Structure 1
Amino acid sequence: MTVPHWLFGDQLGPHHLSGLGDVPVVMIESRSVFRRRRFHRAKAHLVLSAMRHRAAELGDRVRYVRAETYREGLREAVPDGGEVTVSHPTSYAALRLVKSLDTVRVLPARGFLVPHADFRAWADGHDGRQLRQEDFYRWVRRSHELLMDGDQPAGGRWNHDHDNREAPPKGARTLGAPAPYRPREDEIDEEVRRDLDRWEREGEVRFVGRDGPRRFPASRREALAALSRFIEFRLAGFGPHEDAMLARDPVMSHSLLSSSLNLGLLDPAECVERAEDAWRAGHAPVNSVEGFVRQVAGWREYVWQLYWYFGEDYRHRNALRHHEPLPEWFLELDADAVRARCLATALAQVRDTGWTHHIPRLMLLGSHALQRGWDPEAVTDWFHRCFVDGYDWVMVPNVVGMSQYADGGRMTTKPYTSGGAYVHRMSDLCTGCAYRPGERTGERACPFTAGYWAFLHRHRARLEHNPRMAQPVRGLDRLADLEELLRGERERGDGPP
């Protein structure tokens, strides 16, 4: 008898079934997932739409069950209690679930470039030293012969970050990049929206954020169209301004492929190979291609591997002992309550789309949370729930390790936070703001500038021994207005800045 294969909602591309033959497929839509946590409405829409689109593609091959829980759904899908296979899930919770079911056999993970065993061997070979992303990235490039010329990196350098950190063009309101691919909703989306409306109306679930027209691919066909449009029209201009921000151009030249990769609609190998082909054909410069390859084969792969390598307790790390709760205005995505233009802009983007690119995530939203001392586990949960591409494996290392420095430096060499000068240099978001990036005290004191110095003061004993932070910490001694600054921060509290 043929053993059916269970597809989770983030295992939706054809590579998740390749090599299994024409086996029957089981898919389970669990209502309890949305009851347990308050997800962004656009995220709930995208996940359900993608699952139902995949089920429509599979036709009679799939048994699609809508149930309260996965356990109930599996009993309905396989009533005889027969064996089911499943690819290694993408979260500890899902892995515990499938391992607790006697009839489920777990297969190796798919949708990533490096097997777990290979990464563990590489990491263990570092003898407990810091697992630097740059070292890992070069290892992946070599082992997969990716963007290489023989044993040397294509273009003569491994890292083109120096060319990819330009501020936005002076006076520009947009980068002027060709528009990204945007899907068109169909009858499946209409059904999903009706269901979500009913669930909210009946009080079964509560969402946050807005669910306008779907902005991200929900099918393999749409994901491939998005990839093709990025490679052909947007990749060439991606690199130089990938760290810049513009209020009226939230997408700039970014690929917008993260949700498709994390739903399993795209395989990372096909993305980076298409990018390399574009460079070799002379259609995109090496710095833009290397920047994109670094994001997919470097950072995304690195985060996936660290999630499993560090273990489940990693999510609870809190080296800085930050315990402040997230304020209501942040939880509700109330951008209209925020006066700081940069933070209001980023929060509005999350509210309206469930997405921002990596710099607003790290240097605005994450940096503010770090400066205010918010609980890193709560911040991780917020990013997981509120971003369309957010999954447990994505957000635990990105937030605990990178954004909140809650692991004390196991993943990164320094806390990633800054004053308003960085925001002013890399964006147009300070123009027209109620605050001034160069002011630390007074009514016009920039919350990021004041917050930066208050953060350094609070953690001086830890950070003054960090080679990358020692000089900024010494700068505290030159602040004649430090006491006034700290008093202003106490008075500010956790109200919207």
Structure 2
Amino acid sequence: MSTAHWLFGDQLGPHFLRPGDQGPAPDAPVVLIEAKSVFRRRRFHRAKAHLVLSAMRHRAAELGDRARHVRAETYREGLREACGDGDVTVHHPTSRAALDFVRRLPQVQVLPARGFLVEQDAFRAWADGHTGTKLRQEDFYRWTRRRLDLLMEGDSPVGGRWNLDHDNREPPPRGTGTLDAPAPYRPREDDIDEQVREDLDRWEREDGIEFVGRDGPRLFPASRREARAALSRFVEHRLAGFGPHEDAVLAADPVMSHSLLSSSLNLGLLDPAEVVELAEDAWRAGRAPLNSVEGFVRQVAGWREYVWQVYWYFGADYRDRNALRHHEPLPDWFLDLDADAVTAHCLSTVLAQVRDTGWTHHIPRLMVLGSHALQRGYDPRAVTDWFHRCFVDGYDWVMLPNVVGMSQYADGGRMTTKPYTSGGAYLSRMSDLCGPCAYRPTRRTGEQACPYTAGYWAFLHRHRQRLGGNPRMVQAVRGLERLGDLDQLLREDADRGDRAP
């Protein structure tokens, strides 16, 4: 009998069973283990727990008799039940903890990673060649496009420019409250989902396992068939309108033209190669404009790929980076996704989206949730864990670089050239969230002071020595000298403490 092959819950697509020198045998038994201990260790969003379990059970059903689907307390117990002492292969897991664990198991052979566009050795060679310089995503993105011949004409990018981000920063349409984009694909729940929900209810009731957030009807694909349908729906009907407003935010239209494919990619239901190839085909066929296609390809082949690679390249101690020395604990209202406790309309709206769906797009994550955490000085390790637990597409490799490097500037600029935070003016320009708010984006002090505007200046003041030497921040830091109400602002900021804004 062939050596069994183990699929983790984020390795569920057919490319993880592709045979060959670096893959399992075509007839290899397939092991899937639901380890309850995973859900004991962290307080996950209920919708995320539902999605992962549903996806694993859908995959087991697809594999039929080939699957050894085990429900156990731990992975070790599940592996023993599924394989005894027999040999097992597994593709490189997506977290350091999981990789360390499988490497300690003498019966397990670790195969190269799948589900990404660039081999880790190739990235390491590229990154090592940049010793002494910053590893910038834009440089990596261009290298990747050349390497994969993606959106290229010979040695040049199609259209003559590598990055069309300048064309994709339009504010939202005013007065409509919606982008009026074609609706995204939404799956229908089935008997498997019903059983998952019953099991999660029982875990809460009998096993003391706690979740956060709401578990409404499942919104994201849990099978290869559903993921392919979602991809086709996006490319054929939504990709064309994606680009111009990809950085805009609308309270009543949180999805806008975003793909909603991140959870499917991160569960392994979709291969990123097929995703970017379909997007490029849409442009070459004249079905989508270049700025939308390039913007989407940059998300997948640029940022997603870059985050995966630097997660491993930066080393295990990257998790502990805290250049700004932020140590404030996350307040209960933030941990509990208690949107009703928050007065600031932008933060309340986005927290409610996360509470209800386990998802919001990249700008609310960065410029509402992340910016608030940065301004208040929350501990970056706690912020990383919160994003990991609360988002349906959140995994350790996803959130560690995105939070430590991009959102919280905890690595001191290893990934980005400046902290990503702003006052209320940015949110007012790029969203419709400020209109009904009790606070005013232009006010720094007083009862109507915007917590983001006040928080921005308080953050700059707190870190003025470090940021004053940053070429991209020096003008902002100098702006502190022009604030006649700075002392009042700082007193009010200190009085605010960890109260919900």
What is the alpha-carbon distance in structure 2 between the residues aligned to residue 204 and residue 422 of structure 1? 43
User: What is the 5 A alignment of 1:57-72?
Assistant: 57-72=62-77
Tell me the amino acid that sits aligned with residue 339 of structure 1. Answer: T
Among the aligned pairs, what percent are the same residue?
A: 80
| SS of structure 2 residue aligned to 1:302 | helix
The yes-or-no answer on 1:55 pairing with 2:52 is: no
Pair 1:332-2:341 in alignment? no
How much has 1:22 moved relative to structure 2? 2.1
C-alpha distance in 2 between matches for 1:268 and 1:90? 15
Does residue 11 (structure 1) correspond to residue 5 (structure 2)? The answer is no
**Alpha-carbon deviation of 1:360?**
0.2
AA aligned to 1:185 is E
CA contact (8 A) 2:424 2:441 kept: yes
Deviates most, 345-354 or 196-205: 196-205
Query: Paired residue for 1:94?
Result: 98
- Could you tell me how far 1:169 is from its partner in structure 2? 1.1
Tell me the distance in 2 between the aligned counterparts of 1:39 and 1:28: 18
Deviations 1:260-290 (A, max 9, x none): 0000000000000000000000000000000
What's the CA shift string for 1:419-464, capped at 9, x where partnerless? Answer: 0000000000001100000000000000000000000000000000
In the aligned structure 1, how far is the partner of 2:86 from the partner of 2:192?
31
> What whole-Å deviation, never above 9, does each CA across 1:55-86 have from its counterpart, x for those lacking one?
0000000101100000000000012x011000
Give the alignment partner of residue 294 of structure 2, picking from 286, 290, 296.
290
Q: Is 1:74 aligned with 2:70? A: no
* Structure 1 SS opposite 2:334: helix
Letter aligned with residue 495 of structure 2 = E
Letter of the aligned partner of 1:11 in structure 2?
Answer: Q
369-378 vs 20-29, greater mean Cα deviation: 20-29
The one-letter code of the counterpart of 1:17 is: L
In the alignment, the residues of structure 1 paired with residue 132 and residue 2 of structure 2 have an alpha-carbon distance, to the nearest angstrom, of: 44
- State the partner residue of 2:193: 189
Q: Map Cα deviations across residues 320-352 of structure 1 (whole Å, 9 max, x no partner).
A: 000000000000000001000000000000000
3-state SS of paired residue (1:202):
helix
Distance 2:120 2:374 in 1: 31
Q: What is the CA–CA distance in structure 2 between the aligned matches of 1:329 and 1:313, rounded to whole Å?
A: 29
- Listed as ranges, the matches of 1:233-252 within 5 Å are 233-252=237-256
In structure 2, the partner of 1:417 is 421
Q: Which amino acid aligns with 1:354?
A: G
Q: Which residue of 1 aligns with 2:173?
A: 169
- 2:468 matched to which residue of 1? 464
Query: Residue 114 of structure 2 corresponds to which residue in structure 1?
Result: 110
Deviations 1:215-254, CA, capped at 9 Å, x for gaps: 0000000000000000000000000000000000000000
* Structure 1 counterpart of 2:152, one-letter code: M
Equivalent pair of 2:2/2:27 in contact (CA under 8 Å): no
Q: For the residues of structure 1 that align with 2:174 and 2:50, how far apart are their CA atoms? A: 38
In structure 1, list runs of 5 or more residues that go unmatched: none
Q: Deviation of residue 128 (structure 1)? A: 3.1
Find the aligned partners of 1:129 and 1:4 in 2 and give their Cα distance: 44
Q: Which runs of 4+ in 1 moved over 2 A?
A: none
The structural deviation recorded for 1:159 is 0.4
- Give how far 1:204 is off: 2.8
Distance in 2 separating the partners of 1:392 and 1:312: 12
Q: Identify the match of residue 32 of structure 1 among 9, 34, 37.
A: 37
Q: Secondary structure at the match of 2:90?
A: strand
Counterpart of 1:278 in structure 2 is: 282
Distance 1:187 1:196 in 2: 14
Root mean square deviation, CA, Å: 0.5
| AA in 1 matched with 2:346 | C
Partner amino acid for 1:307? Y
Q: How does 1:74-473 map to 2 (within 5 A)?
A: 74-79=79-84, 81-473=85-477
Aligned residues: 496
